Amino acid sequence: MSNMIRGTLLGMTLALAVPLGAAQAQVNELKIMAPAAPGGGWDQTARSMQHALQTEKIVGNVQVMNVPGAGGTIGIAQFVNSSKGDPNALMVSGYVMVGAIITNKSPVDLSQVTPLARLTGEYEALVVPTSSPLKTMDDFVKVLKADPAKVSWAGGSAGGTDHITAGLIVKALGIEPSKLNYIAFSGGGESLASILGGKVTVGLNGLSEVEPQAKAGKLRILGVSSAQRLPGIDAPTFKEAGVDVEVQNWRMVAAAPGISAEQKKALLDVVEKMAKSATWQDTLKTKGWADTYLAGPEFEKQLAADIANTKVVLKDIGLTQ
């Protein structure tokens, strides 16, 4: 046997003996759970991921399934119990689930999944009807400090992002959180109608929900929960107005529990490619979603901080023990 043939055979043998590493791991198919009914924000996120991953040929086969109920806690329980160790399973989630897990006393929580990345985010807006005597954030703070119980807040479901933001605002101002007069509505539309109708003092909603009414001259935005002023929004941040609160109603994607480090890296690579793709960036612009992509250890740190802070706030406002 010639030296050339021996060398070729040896190379083939060594190649077969080397185990697949992280760089060689491939993701050829994905199942993405949206723990909510079709049409909502988590469902739209999952289906937008499906579209981007397949359009950009990052992953050839992507399926989306919906498991609605109880703020996502039914879905996460199914995901954890049925997808353990599955490197092809993903779940979309978000800040709303953090509150739902705590208030529903869910036995399954986000510590039992494998967080990958924050994908998008939306900021909260504090609004009043344009007929309101409250013209600025300073006006609102003065009224709130004078008599917190007389200030009524309209927002989404109890324990949701709007409610948490209200709790953080009163805490930041040194007001006893139990004095928060928050009126919860099941949907943004009902909350918005209450605000526009002057039935409450102020409202807290996602910016995208109130921006059209603000542009139409029906609502005044007193402040927003972003870190910096937002383009096209004529309102200060809460922090700029002296209220040390920053909140983002983010959406995330997580992998199944029990996957290997190599499998986690492969999924992180897939998600990063998708997040940077032209298709995904176009989707963000079309839907008006903020690109707040954050992955890996940095996101895990932010997630842990949000969970810890939310537990404190929900306890302070009397929703949990």
At 293-302, the pLDDT tens digits run 999 999 999 9
The whole-number average pLDDT for the span 277-297 is 94
Q: Which of 30, 46, 50 is nearest to 38 (CA)?
A: 46
φ/ψ region of 198 (left if φ > 0, alpha if ψ in -120 to 50, else beta) reads: left
Same domain, 130 and 108: no
Share of residues in the chain with pLDDT > 70 (%): 91
Label residue 191 by pLDDT band (50, 70, 90).
confident
Other C-beta atoms within 10 Å of 88: how many?
20
* 150 and 166 within one domain: yes
The number of helix segments (H) and strand segments (E) in the chain equals: 11, 10
Residue 3 lies in a domain: no
Assess if residue 22 is contained within a domain. no
The reply to whether 162 and 220 lie within a common domain is yes
Do both 70 and 107 map to the same domain?
Answer: yes
Is position 64 within any domain? yes
Question: Does one domain contain both 115 and 61?
Answer: yes
Q: Are 107 and 78 in contact (CB under 8 A)?
A: no
> What's the pLDDT score for residue 1?
52
Helix (H, G, I), strand (E, B) or coil at 88: coil
pLDDT reported for residue 71 = 87
- Cα separation, 265 vs 275, in Å, equals 15
- Domain residues for 208? 122-224
Domain shared by 303 and 156, yes or no: no
Assign 3-class secondary structure to 114-137: EEEEEEEEEEEEEEEECCCCCCCH
46 and 103 in a single domain? The answer is yes
Place of tokens 């055979």: 9
Assess whether 37 and 181 both reside in one domain: no
Pair 196, 281 in one domain: no
pTM strictly above 0.85: no
First-to-last CA distance in the chain?
A: 78
Instruction: Give, in degrees to the nearest 5, the angle at Cα 151 between 145 and 153.
Output: 125
User: Nearest-5° angle of CA 313, CA 317, CA 320?
Assistant: 80
Q: Exposed (0-12), middle (13-18) or buried (19+): which is 39, by Cβ within 10 Å? A: exposed
The type of residue at 228 is Q
CA-based nearest residue to 306, from 77, 72, 93? 93
Query: Can you read off the two tokens belonging to residue 159?
Result: 């324990």
Confidence of residue 39 (pLDDT cuts 50, 70, 90): confident
Given pLDDT bands bounded at 50, 70 and 90, which one contains residue 240? very high
Interhelix angle 73-82/95-103, rounded to 10 degrees, is 90
Q: Which CATH number fits the domain that encloses residue 168?
A: 3.40.190.10
CATH number, domain with residue 115: 3.40.190.150
Both 259 and 117 in one domain: the answer is yes
Phi, psi of 222 (to 5 degrees): -85, -35
Query: What's the mean pLDDT in 206-218?
Result: 92
Same domain assignment for residues 132 and 164: yes
pLDDT at 97: 94
Q: Is the model's pLDDT at 7 over the cut of 80?
A: no
Q: What is the pLDDT of residue 22?
A: 40
Q: Identify whether residues 145 and 197 lie together within a single domain.
A: yes
Q: Return the residue matching tokens 């941040």.
A: 237
Residue 241 placed within a domain:
no
Number of domains making up the chain: 2
Average pLDDT over residues 66-76: 93
- Dihedral of alpha carbons 147, 247, 302, 228, sign: negative
User: Has residue 18 got a pLDDT over 50?
Assistant: no
